[in-house]
């Protein structure tokens, strides 16, 4: 097979063996969920319910007031117990706490919205927006925003990201095997909503069965091309994926739409299909619960708002002492300090490290080996940006184009001196952006 790729990148161990062959299992119904009003960048939602209200599955409980925002829905039926500030995987946020009545009664608004052949593009966009669909890859950016580029940006291609280049995670892999038709359906809906006639589904070649499965599902679709990508991190990074599929580079500082492309995760496409076919908004997702610290690693279909703790218990609990708890993959995931946090729309996985795996390496002097320069997929010189950042010389760091960093972490991964390269580059980026805001 002719494999597509980008320049640079690293080869972390895959660690996918634990869950890649395990079918997605429906998680136990949670007795209590906490649904954050803010789960991603953009404006927080406003609560539509009060304490004491009865809610049903799929009922909208938080309204998005701003454009860059997505509404939230109840994932269970029961009673609102609290609306309060709580810890979530992305920090403190206002949460709606609902206690289950055990009935799982579906809200009356949940009915099929029709078919993509009869719905107009505008209607599809509205369904996506109302269903609270966000990017399922991890960053959880509202999908309807992505699909509504300003009129001066001509979009001609949609790419579905099935690369799943993060080690450990197998949620997308399983979805592509178990429900390929819904991915194709969702993709076609997105193509109609944006009036795009060409789409790619990019999948890393360490998942030949997923490539096979998607090719099979798309065999009657002439406008959809399933492409094999070289297994290399960060193959699923937006800019790198676009380059691999179309050989187009997103201009520095630009967005995919500047290259005429929209990128969505395969999980997002499947959520779109659900929203249209069954009318069910985004209230659940597949997550991979894995790592040495988990007794029985699994792919679980979890309801948004389920506490991490409960999810882990369904996987046999923790395997010995826990060193690190990560939401997402090991390369870009967010380390958590407690498991008393709810799963959110962006919870693609829960990864648990043993204390040995979690131990932070002791950084030694940079030996200028240049490996970070060789592998940087943004063609930066991480060693210099990091050095200037550590010296508080953020202006010089900016001259070395710190803002073009995609924060994939390949440099920190490869560094033989275990230097905190990305960690310090992030500091420089924040400082540069803060300064820019100030001077405006």
Q: Given candidates 135, 200, 377, 388, which one binds other proteins under the rule CB under 8 A? A: 377
Q: Which tokens hold the place of 231?
A: 């297994």
In the DSSP assignment, the letter for residue 404 is G
415 contacts other proteins (rule: CB under 8 A): yes
Q: Given candidates 31, 104, 381, 396, which one binds other proteins under the rule CB under 8 A? A: 381
323 contacts other proteins (rule: CB under 8 A): yes
Contacts of 21 by beta carbon, 8 Å cutoff, 6+ apart: none
In the DSSP assignment, the letter for residue 362 is P
Q: Which tokens hold the place of 163?
A: 């690369």
In the chain, how long is the greatest CA-to-CA distance? Answer: 64
Closest CA to 348 of 127, 28, 40, 57: 40
- Provide the minimum distance between the beta carbon of 255 and other proteins in the complex, in angstroms, as a whole number: 11
Total count of residues recorded for the chain? 440
Please tell me whether residue 327 adopts helix, strand or coil conformation.
Answer: strand
Q: What share of the chain is helix, strand, coil (3-state, %, to 5)?
A: 30, 20, 50
- Provide the minimum distance between the beta carbon of 365 and other proteins in the complex, in angstroms, as a whole number: 4
404 contacts other proteins (rule: CB under 8 A): yes
Q: Do residues 93 and 115 lie in contact, with contact meaning Cβ atoms separated by under 8 Å? A: no
331 contacts other proteins (rule: CB under 8 A): yes
Q: Given candidates 423, 431, 432, 433, which one binds other proteins under the rule CB under 8 A? A: 423
360 contacts other proteins (rule: CB under 8 A): yes
- Angle, in degrees to the nearest 10, between helices 421-439 and 382-390: 70
Q: Given candidates 187, 380, 397, 428, which one binds other proteins under the rule CB under 8 A? A: 380
Q: Which tokens hold the place of 427?
A: 């500091």
Q: Which is nearer to other proteins, 72 or 372 (CB)?
A: 372
Binding pattern to other proteins, positions 236-255, x when CB under 8 A? Answer: ---x---x-----xxxxxx-
401 contacts other proteins (rule: CB under 8 A): yes
- Name the segment binding other proteins (CB under 8 A); options: 34-42, 157-165, 208-216, 334-342: 334-342
> Site residues (CB under 8 A) for other proteins?
10, 12-13, 167, 239, 243, 249-254, 318, 321-326, 330-339, 351, 353, 357-361, 364-371, 373-374, 377-381, 383, 400-401, 404, 407, 409-410, 412-418, 422-423, 426
């Amino acid at each position: 097979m002719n494999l597509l790729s980008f320049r640079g990148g690293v080869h972390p161990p895959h660690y996918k063996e634990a869950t890649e062959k395990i079918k997605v299992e429906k998680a136990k119904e949670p007795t209590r969920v906490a649904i954050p009003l803010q789960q991603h960048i953009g404006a927080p939602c406003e609560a539509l319910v009060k304490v004491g209200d009865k809610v049903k599955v799929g009922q909208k409980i938080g309204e998005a007031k701003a454009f860059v925002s997505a509404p939230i829905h109840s994932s269970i039926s029961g009673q609102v117990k609290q609306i309060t500030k709580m810890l979530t995987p992305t920090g403190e946020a206002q949460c709606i706490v609902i206690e289950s009545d055990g009935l799982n009664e579906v809200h009356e608004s949940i009915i099929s919205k029709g078919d993509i052949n009869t719905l107009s593009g505008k209607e599809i966009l509205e369904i996506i927006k109302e269903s609270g669909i966000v990017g399922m890859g991890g960053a959880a950016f509202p999908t309807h925003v992505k699909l509504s580029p300003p009129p001066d940006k001509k979009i001609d291609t949609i790419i579905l990201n099935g690369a799943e280049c993060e080690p450990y995670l197998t949620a997308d892999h399983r979805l592509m095997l178990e429900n390929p038709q819904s991915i194709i359906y969702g993709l076609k809906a997105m193509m109609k909503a944006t009036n795009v006639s060409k789409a790619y589904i990019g999948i890393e070649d360490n998942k030949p069965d997923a490539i096979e499965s998607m090719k099979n599902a798309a065999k009657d679709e002439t406008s959809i091309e399933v492409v094999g990508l070289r297994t290399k991190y960060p193959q699923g990074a937006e800019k790198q994926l676009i380059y691999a599929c179309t050989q187009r580079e997103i201009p520095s500082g630009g967005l995919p739409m500047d290259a005429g492309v929209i990128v969505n995760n395969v999980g997002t496409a499947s959520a779109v299909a659900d929203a249209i076919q069954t009318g069910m908004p985004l209230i659940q997702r597949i997550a991979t619960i894995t790592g040495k610290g988990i007794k029985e690693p699994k792919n679980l279909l979890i309801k948004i708002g389920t506490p991490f703790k409960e999810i882990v218990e369904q996987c046999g609990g923790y395997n010995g002492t826990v060193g690190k708890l990560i939401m997402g993959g090991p390369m870009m995931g967010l380390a958590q300090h407690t498991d008393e946090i709810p799963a959110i729309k962006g919870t693609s996985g829960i990864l648990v490290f043993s204390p040995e795996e979690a131990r932070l390496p002791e950084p030694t002097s940079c030996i200028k080996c240049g490996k970070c320069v060789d592998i940087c997929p943004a063609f930066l010189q991480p060693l210099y940006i990091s050095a200037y950042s550590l010296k508080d010389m953020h202006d010089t760091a900016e001259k070395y184009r710190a803002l073009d960093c995609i924060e994939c972490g390949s440099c920190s991964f490869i560094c033989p001196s275990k230097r905190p390269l990305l960690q310090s580059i992030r500091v420089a980026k924040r400082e540069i952006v803060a300064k820019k805001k100030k001077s405006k």
